[in-house]
Amino acid sequence: MSDPRQNAGLPWPELIERLERSQARLESAHADYMEAAAQSQRALSQVLSSHRDLVDTIRELAQRTEPTAPRATANVEPGASGAEVSPHATTREKQEARASTAHSPQPPQLPDTQLPARVSSEPSPARHITTPALVEVNAPRTALPALKPGQRVLLTNDGFGVAPVLAEVLNARGVRARVEGRRPALNTPTDVVIFLGSLRAPAHLDDAMSVVEDALVTAERFSTRLMQPGAGFVAVLDSAGAFGLAPFDPVVAPYGAMVGLVRALRHRHRGAHIKVIDLDAEGLDTRTIAQTLADELFEGGERTPVALDANRRQEVRWEAFDRRTTPASWLDEEQAPLIYVPSPTAVLATAVERLAIAHELPVAILNRPGVSSQLARRMAERGVALRSADYDLERLFPTMDFLDALRADHGPIAAIVAEPFPARRPDDVLRWDATRPALDEFNALLAMTINDPLNLLAVGLGPGTPPIVASAMRYFARAESLRRNERLRVRLVHLDGAGAPTRGDLGPRDFALTELLSADAPSTAEVRFERSSPRPPVKS
């Protein structure tokens, strides 16, 4: 077949001119569409915001009003706030009772092991938001079950003399304790490991990272014994005795991984006795530290996590979080760029999108290897001023050039929203070589923006995030708030995985997330989105 371009008889100049006019019309139509989409999204956000206020008003009225219909007690889940409507009630009474049922506050969800039998009919997608707090609690006066007389206990050497004194105290209680190095070989029979490496103050960040690696290697070597009855693992760290909920030395931020390590071990070895203790050792001598730890081991039971200082014993509890806030002033600054580093699940994508559209923020997406570019295309189609680039730890210079170009066009970077990768395999949650890259990636991003006056640093910890990564990143984010200026707002978001991300559709969780990211106060907020209704039944 001959090439039609070789036909000199065709009117090529006219065809090219028509093609250029058609392309110009297409570009103009696309620009009009994008502008209309952005306006529609803003209008929809305002409508839904008004709807949320209306729901809040109905909730307040429902709480103040006593239901007129009698409340049935049969077939009602224990602790539920629902009410059965009498068949003889009037239409108005039925409506009031339903409003009271739908909008009354829900009780905190119990762990799966404490849930009563499910007798309610349909699950509800309602959620509630909680935040961690330290509560002073008396010790239960029971010993850690693994510390029975005659049990063989191994203490790792902390390097400052606490381990030998603690071994002496444990031996006096009838436990056979011994001290070994930072990474014990565990060649001799051992029933309990007490890791004390994270009790000492690290010299620098890499030193703290090496201590975390010691803990993971020790836990891996001890994993076979943890599968057997009577085994125990205790991790002790010193981050000011508050698990990051109070100011601490930023250099110990990697020690936050110890909390995640214990959580992962408790999930994997449910028959073992596993615990984490944060001890504020400042100003205490070695014998006082050893005695304080021994008292907790023999009187604190299995309660975890436990925060200790010289005068009190505290535990971490999740309490209701008040999310009614005022938007921060930096959102109104012109062209303040936001960096978004999504995970494959993109749990904060809709909140970032709504924030960008409502306040006309330019967004820069950093795509890591394995993340689809469809998210960037979708956000651009919905009216977000967006650009994207690859983000690879092995090739940081192109990322730095990309950020420089972003600053040249829009000014200093104002916000970072990051999501760590989920574990690729179940065994990766306890492997240091699979955990360290996520922490290095987050720290590299903070280092590349060290001179930017950040206003927002948000971390989305979605379903599948390794517990070690999640715990360490929350410490890193809190440490960054101690280093930066006072205007930085830190937001740590835990999502329990009950329900998939909305991926662009606006839902109650997205409203709460957007409100949280845009809030002016508090300076640091850590929240967890939980299901306040029973989980759907699992199909066999």
Asked if 494 and 259 touch (Cβ cutoff 8 Å), the reply is no
| The residue to which tokens 């850690």 are assigned | 144
* H helix or E strand, kind and range, residue 129: strand 127-136
Q: Apex CA 457: angle with CA 50 and CA 323, to 5°?
A: 35
* pLDDT bucket at 520, cuts 50 / 70 / 90: confident
Per DSSP, the residues of 92-134 read HHHHHHHHHHHHSPPPPPPPGGGPPPP--SS----EEEEEEEE
Domain boundaries, the chain: 133-316, 320-528
Query: Do 133-316 and 320-528 agree at the fold level?
Result: yes
> For residue range 441-500, what is the model confidence (pLDDT) as tens digits?
999 999 999 999 899 999 999 878 889 999 999 999 999 988 886 789 999 999 864 433
| C-beta atoms surrounding 441 within 10 Å | 19
CATH entry, 133-316, from 2.40.110.10, 3.30.1600.10, 3.40.50.460, 3.40.50.720: 3.40.50.720
CA dist 78 and 348 (Å) reads: 34
pLDDT tens digit sequence for 147-172: 999 999 999 999 989 999 999 999 99
Decide: pTM greater than 0.75: no
Q: What is the mean pLDDT of residues 347-366?
A: 90
One-character DSSP codes across 214-241: HHHHHHHHTHHHHTSTT-EEEEEE-STT
Which residue shows structure tokens 């999504």?
342
Burial code (b: 16+ CB inside 10 Å, e: under 16) for 452-484 equals bebbbbbbbbbbbbbbbbbbbbbbbbbbbbeeb
Look-up of token digits 């108005």: 92
3-state helix, strand, coil in the chain (%, to 5): 40, 15, 40
Checking if the pLDDT of 183 tops 80, the result is: yes
Q: Which two tokens stand for residue 102?
A: 């739908």
**AA letter at 359:** H
| pLDDT the model gives residue 429 | 76
Q: Which of 490, 511, 225, 122 is nearest to 354 (CA)?
A: 511
Predicted confidence at residue 18, as pLDDT, reads 78
Q: What is the mean pLDDT of residues 53-59?
A: 73
Return the higher-pLDDT residue of 406 and 71.
Answer: 406
Residue 30 has pLDDT above 60, yes or no: yes
**Is 320-528 in CATH node 3.30.559.10?**
no
Structure tokens at 93: 């009474």
pLDDT digits (tens, 9 = 90+) for 281-329: 999 999 999 999 999 999 999 989 999 987 899 999 998 887 667 888 8
477 near 245, Cβ under 8 Å? no
CA–CA gap between residue 114 and residue 203 (Å, rounded) = 43
pLDDT mean over 52-76: 58
Six-digit token pair at 322? 């008040």
Residues 65-93 have a mean pLDDT of 41
